[in-house]
Amino acid sequence: RAFLAVHLNEGRLARDESLDNLMEALSKHLRPSQSDKAESAPVMERARDFLHVLMATDVSLDELASYTGIDRFRLTRQFKRTYGQTPHAYLIRLRLRAARALLAAGKPAAEVAAEVGFSDQSHMGVWFRRAYRLTPAAYQRLCTNLTD
């Protein structure tokens, strides 16, 4: 996954998480496992709020860690423990939710993709189909094709 994330030019957060997962898997062979002390809820809320504010930008895990004041490895583990998904997965879901609202309002898919932070319309389409099993255009038709 790390190789593909780097070589397929995924977003910075996706690349960072993939590389961190690789490092964590490799580091288990170098030292005994250490338990994490749970971070306080306010720190994880800060991380979540940071993603909400910067949803449309290419956020890196280092930026998120710097903002919260904890290292990126602990941040990823604690975020996943708190919200049930990694920061990157959370960001994608956040973008998809915003995209759904904009598409339902009748905005063109290309504008929606740029506004919510996907690199282009095609990238949004890939994630949209993966999450909802519909293309953005099909979703938009379903939302706007209502009878009176």
pLDDT higher than 60, residue 147? no
Structural domains in the chain, sorted by start: 2-84 (no CATH), 92-144 (1.10.10.60)
Spatial contact of 76 and 23, defined as CB atoms under 8 Å apart: no
Rounded CA-CA distance 54/96 in Å is: 14
Tokens 């979703």 belong to 139
Phi and psi at residue 38, to the nearest 5°: -60, 130
Tell me the pLDDT band of 67, cut-offs 50, 70 and 90: very high
Tokens 């070589």 belong to residue: 7
| Full-model pTM | 0.74
Tens-digit pLDDT profile for residues 81-98: 999 999 999 999 999 999
